[in-house]
A and B are shown apart, each in its own frame.
Chain A
Amino acid sequence: MPATTYRPLRLFIDVGLWLLTVAITLLGLAALTFFIGRILPIDPVLSIVGEKALPEVYQRVYLELGLDKPLWQQFFDYVMKLLRGDFGTSFSTSRPVLTDLLNFFPATLELSTIGLLIGVALGVPMGVASAYWHEKWPDHVIRIIGLVGYSVPVFWLGLVGLFVFYYLLDWVAGPGQLDVFYVGVVDRITGMILIDSALAGEWDIFWNAVSHMILPALLLGYYSLAYISRMTRSVMLDQLSREYVLTARLKGASEFRVVMGHALRNAAIPLVTVIALSYGGLLEGSVLIETIFSWPGIGNYIYSSLFAADMNAVLGGTLLVGIVFVLLNMLSDVLYRVLDPRSRELAK
C-alpha cells in the first residue's frame, strides 16, 4: 500500500503546517498588541521618569527604550529578541519579563485548575440533570443557580464570600496565598504552593494554602460552572432527543445507561471545546478575583503593567495568554480524536 509509505512525510507536513499556523497566530498577536500599545496616548518614558524629570533624563530613557527608531524596526527588534527567548525587561519590576511570567503564572495556573475542576465536577452533572428533568423543578433550580453565578459581579461575590466565610464564620483564611509567617518558608520549585509545600513535606503550610485557596477557587469554579452547566444542558437536550436514545430505551437499557453511557458520551465532544475555552478564560487570570483576594497572579500582573505603560510586560503577558490558548486548542484536538472515532478516520 503506497499510502503507508508516505505517512511519516504526511505527519511531518501536518506538524509543520500546525507550527506555522501557531507561529503566524502568535506573531499576529504580538503585532496587534505592539502597535496598539504604540498608538495609545501613553508615554512609556514619562511613566518611568515621572513628569518632573529633567529633559536629559527623559532623553536617556527614550533612547534606552529604542523609541527613536521607526516603529517597524522597533517591532522587528522585539521579534528578533523574542526568537532568542528574550521577552525584554519589565521596568516596573526590573526583572526579565520571562522571570516575571514564571513567577506570576503558576499562582494563576494552580487556582484556575482547581476552579475548573470544581466547575466541571459540579457543572456537568448539573447540566445533565437539568436536561434530563427538562422544565421540571430540578431544571429551574439549576438554572437559577447558574444564572446567579453568571450574572452577579464576581467581585461582589468575592467580597460577600470573604465577609461571610472568613470574617463571620472563620471557616477559611483571608486574602493572600499564605499566612504571613509561612511566606517564603518552602523553596520555590514549581511556583504552585500546594505542590511545593507537599514536596517539602510541610503539611501545615499545605493546609494553610488550601484554606487560603478554597474560597477564590470555589468562586472561579462557580463562575465557570454557570457556563459549563448551561452548555451541557443544551448539548444534552439535543442528544436526548436523538433517535439512538429512543432505540436504546426500546432495547431496554436502564435510564442511567441511556443518559450516561449513550447521550453524555456523544455530548462529551462539543463539551471538550466548552471546557477548554472556560479553562482558557480562567488562565488569563481573573483580575477582579486576584485583586480582592490579593492573589499574585498573571491577571493582576498584566493589568498593573498596562496601567504603568510597562509595554514589555504587557506584550509578554499577552503572548503567554496566546500560547495558553494555542495549547488548549491542541489539547482539545487530541481529545476529539480520543473521543470521536470518526475524526480518527478522517485524520487518515
Chain B
Amino acid sequence: MRLYKTLVAAALGTVMSVSGAFAETPADTLVIADAIDDIITLDPAEVSEVGGVLMSQQMYQPLVTFDPADPTKIVGVLAESWEVSEDGKTFTFTMNPDAKFASGNPVTAKDAEYSLQRVILLDSRISFILTQFGITKENVAEKIKATDDATLVIEVDQKYAQSFVLYVLSSFTGGIVDSVLVKEHEGTREDGSNDYGNAWLKADNSAGSGPYVLTKWDPKVSILMSRNENYWGEAPGVERIFLQHMPESATQRLALEKGDIDIANKLGPDDIGAVEGNADIQVLEGNSSTIYYMGANVRDEALSNPKVIEAMKYLIDYDGIAETIGRGTIKVHQTMIPDGFLGGNIDYNPYSFDLEKAKALLEESGVSLPITLDTVVWNVPPYPDYAQAVQATMAQAGINLDLQVVDGGPWLDRYRSHDLDIWVGLWGPDYPDPHSNAKAFTVNDATDPDGAKGNLADRFGWNSGPLSDQVLAAVQEQDTEKRAEMYEEIQRAHTDSSPFLYMFQDSRRVAMRSDVKGVVLGITFSDDRYGAVTKE
C-alpha cells in the first residue's frame, strides 16, 4: 500500500511537472497494450500462447539462447558452457555460478533438472517438445540429471544436430524455475498426482531468474511485472511492465498517439499506416515466424498431377495480395522455413502470377478443365481475403476453388481428417529451429500414414521421396554452417516439388512511443525482450 502511494505521488508529480494537457505514462513503467484474453498460464512448463510466452520470457531464463540478429550464434545464459559427447547423444551443461533467482537462491543444475523434468512429468501440453528426444515419464530421471550443483547432463535418444537440441532448450519450454521455491508450493491435482507447483505458478507467483517478477496477474484484464531486485544481469531500465488488455486496434492507436500507452502490440495495417507519420511514434520492424500457405491434398486425382500443382503456383498474384491486402503485414515468402531461422534467409521466391505459363502447364498435364476443388478457409481475417484473391486468379485458368469459409473448429477438423482438396492456413513453429517446419512439411512417418500427429506431408498425402531422409539427416548434422546449407538445399527442392503453395511470411511491425529505447524484437511473436528497455 505504501509502495503504491509513493508511486502515485511520484506519478502525479511527473504529470504535473509536464506542461500541457497531454497524458503520459509513468516514467518508470512500460505500458504495453495487447490482447491478453488468450493467456491461460504463465508457468514455463506449459505456456504456449503468444501473450503468455511473451510475459514468461521476461521472468524465466533458459540455459542457452541465440542472437535474434544472427541465430547461428548460440550463447549461454544460465549455462556457462556445454559439451557434447562423441556420439552426439549426451549434452553436459556447466551452470553459470553467478546466476541467481529473484528469491536470492543460486541457480543450480538441480533447478534445471527439476524444471525440465516437470515439463514431462506434468504431462504438459507442450511436453511433445521434449519427448521428441526420446525422453518419457519413465526414463526422465535418467535422461535429465544433475550430477552435482554445477553440472546438468541431458541424454537424447539419437545423434541430433547440436544446434537443434540447443534451440529447443532456448525456447519458452526451457525456462528454468527456482526448484527450492516451487517445491514448497507443490500441490496435488484432481487425479491425485503431484502438480509440481503448477497451480501456484498459475496464480500471482513467479519463480524465475529473469529481469522481472510477476506482481499481479488479473486474467483477461492486466499483468503487472516488477523489476527483479536480485537480478544477476544488468538491472532493467524500467521499474515495472504493465500489460493492459486492449483488444481493439483503433483504441490502441488512439491511446498510443495520446501517450497513454508506450507500446501497441496489436495494431492492424490501417492503424500502423496512420501512426507512421507521427514524430512521437516509431515503428519497429521484425520477423514473425508465421507462414501462410495453401496445402493441396494430393489424394485428389487432379492434384496428384505435379503439373497441375506447378500451374497453381503460377496462379497466385503474390505481389498483388501482399500490397493490397497485406499492406505491410506480410511479405512474399515461398519456402517452408521462415526468414530469421537458421537456413531461412534464402530469398527463394521463384513464382509470380503468370497466366500463360500456368495455362501451358495445365495443357501439358492432360487434366481436363475446368476442375473444382473443395477449399476450406477459416472465417477470420486475413484468410478469406487471401482465398478470394487466389480464387479469382485461379479461375482464369479453369481451376475453380469452391471456397468453404468455416469456423475454427471445422477448419481444423477437416484439415486433420484431410476431408478437403485445398486448405488455406498457416504454420507457426513450436521452437526456433528449422526442424520444426522441415519435419512437419517434409518427413513421412510410416507409422502414421495420415499425419494424425501433425506431419503435414502425410496429412496431405504427399510422399516427399528423398527429401524426407534429407531432413532427418539435417537434424543430425553437427556442423551448424553445414546444417544451414542443407536446409537451403532442401527448401529449394521442396518449394519446387511439394504440394504446399507457400505464399507469405508475417512481417511484424510494432508501434511504440519514440522515447522507448532498447526493445529487442525476437524472431517470433512472443520472444520480444524488454530487459534493456529505458524511457528517456
Contact = CB atoms under 8 A, between A and B. Distances in A.
Interface of A: 40-43, 46, 48-54, 56-57, 60-61, 63-64, 91-95, 100, 103-104, 159, 162-163, 166-167, 170, 173-176, 179-185, 204, 291-294, 296, 300-301, 304, 308
Contacts of A180: 25-26, 29, 31, 242, 244, 260
4 A-B pairs closest in CB distance: A93-B219, A181-B11, A49-B125, A304-B37
Interface in B171-191: 190-191
B191 A54 contact: no
A170 B22 contact: yes
A95 B220 CA distance: 12
A41 B37 contact: no
A204 B11 CA distance: 12
B258 A167 contact: yes
B515 to A, nearest CB: 16
Interface stretch (B59-67, B246-254, B324-332, B478-486): B246-254
Interface of B: 4-5, 7-8, 11-12, 21-23, 25-26, 29, 31, 37-38, 40-41, 48, 123-128, 131, 190-191, 199, 202-203, 216, 218-222, 224, 242, 244-248, 250-251, 254-255, 257-258, 260, 407, 409-410, 412-413, 416, 430, 454
Given A43-B409, A64-B191, A181 B128 contact: no
A48 B40 CA distance: 9
A61 B46 CA distance: 13
Given A60-B123, A170-B22, A174-B260, A94 B251 contact: no
Nearest to B131: A54
B219 A41 contact: no
B5 A185 contact: yes
Contacts of B454: 51-52
B41 A94 contact: yes
Contacts of B38: 92, 308
Contacts of B410: 41
A92 B40 contact: yes
B189 to A, nearest CB: 8
Given A42-B409, A185-B5, 17 more contacts: A50-B126, A51-B454, A52-B454, A53-B125, A54-B128, A54-B131, A57-B123, A57-B125, A63-B191, A93-B40, A162-B254, A174-B260, A180-B25, A184-B224, A291-B247, A294-B248, A308-B40
Given A41-B410, A56-B123, A174-B258, A181 B26 contact: yes
Nearest to A163: B254
B4 A57 contact: no
A170 B21 contact: yes
B409 A48 contact: no
Contacts of A175: 246, 251, 254-255, 260
Contacts of B191: 60, 63-64
A42 to B, nearest CB: 5
A94 B307 CA distance: 52
Nearest to B189: A64
Nearest to A155: B248
Given A92-B40, A204-B12, A301 B4 contact: no
Nearest to A176: B244
Contacts of A176: 244, 246
B21 A162 contact: no
A140 to B, nearest CB: 33
A184 to B, nearest CB: 6
A293 B251 contact: yes
A184 B1 CA distance: 9
A161 B5 CA distance: 32
A57 B127 contact: yes
A48 B125 contact: yes
A296 B254 contact: no
B46 to A, nearest CB: 9
A41 B48 contact: no
A308 B464 CA distance: 36
Contacts of A308: 37-38, 40
8 contacts: A50-B126, A52-B128, A60-B191, A92-B220, A174-B258, A179-B260, A180-B244, A204-B8
